[in-house]
Amino acid sequence: MKFSQMEYKRPDLDETYARYEELLAKFKAAKTVEECFAAYKEINDLDVIVESMFELALIRKSLNTVDEFYAAEGVYLEEIEPELEEVAQEVVRALLESPFRKEMEDAWGEQMFTRLETEMKTYSPEIIEDLQEESELSSKWADLMASALIMFEGKPHNLSQMETHHQSLDRAIRKKAAHACSDWFMERSEHFDNLFDALVKVRTRIARTLGYDSFIELGYLRMQRSYTPEMVAKLRDGILKHFVPIATRLKDEQAKRIGVESITVFDGISYPDGNPTPKGTPDEILAHYKKMYADLSDEGAAFFNFML
């Protein structure tokens, strides 16, 4: 099925919430491992349907920011997502407290439950309104980026389409393209600044409501990171000491290859004849990817086929 043929159906909040509660009760009432696994499969199947509708609407909204239908759906989904998160947390708690947890860990791996324990630290019903505001602000940021329309060489371009000019063999065109994009951002700098300021404030409020000093700790938990800020600081020092000199040398080599004195922000090519481009037909490229994953391992090949 093509993406354009996928049918979107708005998830009704009350119906979806009630269905989750029904399946959650069934999961908690499981008397055997088989009943437990079967009940969780139903919950997971519902997750797939709901999340698919969310992604379908948001992708179509981002593809056409002036589409009134999907713009309205985006607003609706932003409003209900934090409320659905509440029942999602109930599911997580039930999984963690299940008498069949050991059997589930044996079947699905302990890492799944480690991630769920981390997820529990990122939510509370007290932050629903703040989560709705955060979602709305993030959506406005994405919409602003997607709305970019830059006139370049007599034609309108979005930010992705400008990438072709950023990699032009003509340095004058690359420079002109970089300035055109920069001008677009500068003209909207106040809007971006206001959104960023509002996001910082609401995320700080969310973090403090959850008991954290700042959003930094909550941000690590949201990303399911197992390392600490102190470990990241050590990594930064290591990058500065070991990797920055290598990166500087590589940039110097790039400058020599493309015939410029030093690399600037608009030097987006690595070789005098341009950057590498895909070779072969789409079917040939796909066949090469399959072979690559098959050569790596049987698991890699299986994963690739599953993703298709």
The answer on 142 and 36 residing in a single domain is no
**287: three-class secondary structure by DSSP:** helix
- 236 and 192 belong to one structural domain: no
Give which of 74, 197, 79 is closest to 146, Cα–Cα.
Answer: 74
Q: What is the pLDDT of residue 304?
A: 52
Using 50, 70 and 90 to split pLDDT, how confident is the model at 140? very high
Query: Which residue's structure tokens are 């371009």?
Result: 157
Mean pLDDT of the chain: 91
Most confident of 166-175, 225-234, 274-283: 166-175
- Between 304 and 7, name the one with better pLDDT: 7
Neighbours of 245 (CB within 10 A): 10
Q: State the residue for tokens 């599911």.
A: 91
Let me know if residue 307 belongs to a domain: yes
Which has the minimum average pLDDT: 55-69, 76-90, 231-245, 290-304?
290-304
Examine the pLDDT at 306 and tell me if it is beyond 70: no
**Are 249 and 164 part of one and the same domain?**
no
Provide the domain limits for residue 158.
Answer: 125-225
Residues 150, 237 share a domain: no
In a shared domain, residues 169 and 65: no
Cross-strand bridge partners of residue 150: 157
Q: Give the per-residue pLDDT at 204.
A: 97
Select from 121, 145, 135 the least CA-distant residue to 202.
135
For the four alpha carbons of 98, 103, 108 and 110, in that order, the dihedral sign comes to positive
CA–CA distance, 289 with 304 (Å, rounded to integer): 9
Same domain, 236 and 254: yes
Lowest average pLDDT, out of 49-53, 118-122, 182-186, 286-290, goes to: 286-290
> Helices in the chain by DSSP H: which ranges?
13-28, 33-63, 68-97, 101-108, 110-119, 128-146, 163-166, 171-187, 189-209, 215-222, 229-238, 244-258, 282-296, 298-307
Structure tokens, 52:
């698919």
Give the model's pLDDT for residue 301: 55
| pLDDT for 150 beyond 90 | yes
In terms of domains, do 100 and 132 share one? no
Query: Which of residues 74, 103, 123 is at a domain's end?
Result: 123
Q: Exposure of 71 by Cβ count < 10 A (0-12 exposed, 13-18 middle, 19+ buried)?
A: middle
* Each residue's pLDDT tens digit, 169-224: 999 999 999 999 999 999 999 999 999 999 999 999 999 999 999 999 999 999 98
Tally the domains of the chain. 4
Question: Does residue 272 form part of some domain?
Answer: no
Judgement on whether residues 5 and 109 belong to the same structural domain of the protein: yes
Q: Are 115 and 221 in contact (CB under 8 A)?
A: no
End-to-end CA distance of the chain: 12
